């Protein structure tokens, strides 16, 4: 599980990219991103999530987003990105939906 906090923008997106890549190339390509503490996400942050989604799916996994806050949920809605991610209201629901061992 990855837990970005605060703002996901051009200053912090690279750190998220590295974390997600480490998960995908580790022993489980299924990842939950806990968005409950993520107050803001710009296009750079969204691109990091989308790129990680493609990498995860290529490895046979996927990325589930859990508990997106209103601004992040709105970004996912207006960009259409919410249709390509599996979204969950809670982290627990996201973890329960993963096949195998959650990351």
Give tens-digit pLDDT for 72-85.
999 999 999 999 99
Q: Which fold has domain 6-97?
A: Transcription Regulator spoIIAA (3.30.750)
- Residue 10 binned pLDDT confidence (cut-offs 50, 70, 90): very high
Q: Name residue 65's beta-bridge partners.
A: 33, 87
Q: How far apart are CA 78 and CA 55, in angstroms?
A: 23
- Tell me how crowded residue 103 is: count the other CB atoms within 10 A of its CB: 21
Q: Above pLDDT 90, what percent of the chain?
A: 89
pTM for this predicted structure: 0.92
DSSP state of 10: T
């Amino acid at each position: 599980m990855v837990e970005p906090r605060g703002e996901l923008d051009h200053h912090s997106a690279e750190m998220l990219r590295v974390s997600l890549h480490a998960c995908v190339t580790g022993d489980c390509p299924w990842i939950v991103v806990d968005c409950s503490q993520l107050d803001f996400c710009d296009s750079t942050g969204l691109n990091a999530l989308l790129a990680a989604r493609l990498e995860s799916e290529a490895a046979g996994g996927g990325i589930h987003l859990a508990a997106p806050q209103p601004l992040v949920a709105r970004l996912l809605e207006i960009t259409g990105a919410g249709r390509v991610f599996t979204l969950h209201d809670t982290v627990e629901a996201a973890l329960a939906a993963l096949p195998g061992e959650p990351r």
